[in-house]
Structure 1
Amino acid sequence: MTILLFLLQSDRLSLLSPTTDQQPQCFHVQERKKVFILYSLDHPLYKNIVLKFCAFLMAKCGTEVILDLLDSTRVAMLGRIQWLDWQRERIESSSDKILLLCSKGVQAKWRAMCGEKRVLLREDLRSPMSDMLTPALGLIVPQLVHRASFEKYMVAYFEGICSPEDVPSPFNVTVRYKLMRQFEELFFRILDAEKQGPDRVRYIEGLAEGEYHHCSTGRALLEALEDFRAYQRKHPAWFEEQLVEDLDVEDLD
């Protein structure tokens, strides 16, 4: 029976850990975690990716997601800064995490905070909440000097759409997860669980790069990623086209 199980799982074993003789162990998620997601509204197609990613986290992974787009009424009631600081404090006092999804807009807005030219994006100006990322960075970057807080922050980017160059410099010392290739590793981090140990390698069913799109929300996410990749190939200057000069604000429509 052991030999048969090994043969059935040998392909997955070679992908997870090619140097170990241990069988991979399926890890069953028991605790529902919460993730506060920060991002930049770079483009309508990127906004769609963020929403589809959150839907995947909630439906497939059983994760509670905090996202301004899903809580716009409360953001309007409290105000942007108060809502962001409230969410940050709730995360800081728990075992939950903050995930920064890096993109060209994230890097550009960080550089603007460091003294470079102000960044205005079309989607920020169309959104009733405006740019939520810049005040969020102002709140969380000072927290990175505290080691206890540092463990709560995760950095990721969607491979093929964004790149390591899109990560702001304060986060260069953190692990940068490539999505969706390293999503399973990221999710283990969300769970505060170890994927690899001295005597075992764990996996979570349906979260590997070649598996996540087998469910409906994962398939929708994959389609959103492919749509934006195709758009970027046709429009290599897409980000520059999303930048708006102050004088052009009234002409967005």
Structure 2
Amino acid sequence: MRSARWRGAMDVLRTTGDREALMPELPDVEGFREVLMACGRRRCVTDVEVRDAGVLRGVTVARLRRELKGRCLGKAWRHGKWLFVPTDGGPTVVCHFGMTGSLVCCAEDDPIAPHDRILLTLDHNRHLRYRDQRKLQGVQLADDTEVARITDRLGPDASTVSGPEFRELLSGRRGAVKSALMDQSVIAGLGNLLCDEILWRARVHPRTPARSLSETVLRRVHTRMGRVLETSVRAGCVPPRRSWLTGRREDSEPLCPRCRRSLCSGRVAGRRTVWCPECQT
């Protein structure tokens, strides 16, 4: 069973050739959480196979096996792009998916993919696999103090931040509004595609200084963020709809879905950014 996010992202890649579509953001990680929760009834770990220790962070192969084998995975929760999986009486498994990571649930005898790095055998002969091509982040074990240390570095989750808190967080920020939105210590969970889509829908240029935005504009950005996230979480990714900026950004001659003006492309916050010069002034 593949995640909805992975299927959606591969559709984006086939349609647009956009490698950024595979970079997990909040909707993708929420999809991984759902994959994990549906992978077996009790989700008890009967075996641990680490095929590539390059995805382990601060934990050895031996300790990972010792801590997880025989334990059941509890109710997973997400904050931003981080996934936290408590175990019964043991540490929390913490996953960050970097640019190319994913969780896949499948049958134990399904062929192992080239980038399957960690394989957890669960009850009912299910495999939960951590799959990652580039290995920029990975998997660690954490106690409650270490979990708190991770979350304390993050801003509020983008899917739950209130309007007043959102406006307070952005109103005093130096630099471009896109930079502020992508800063995980300000708001957790937004990535490149989400930020471009949100700002396009809010009619805000990505290079606009965040502190120059009026309360009315910040309220509009927050509203559009909520709507984009709601739809994207249902899809398991930022969907490549033709009515969305996401569905146009990799066209050979991309046009704004709203006004049909040619889209612009440049770099903001170190990332390729797409916007409409007519709609986003």
TM-score, normalising length: structure 1: 0.22
Task: Specify which structure has the higher proportion of helix.
Answer: 1
TM-score, normalising length: structure 2: 0.21
Greater RCO structure (CA 8 Å; 6+ sep): 1
Task: Specify which structure has the higher proportion of strand.
Answer: 2
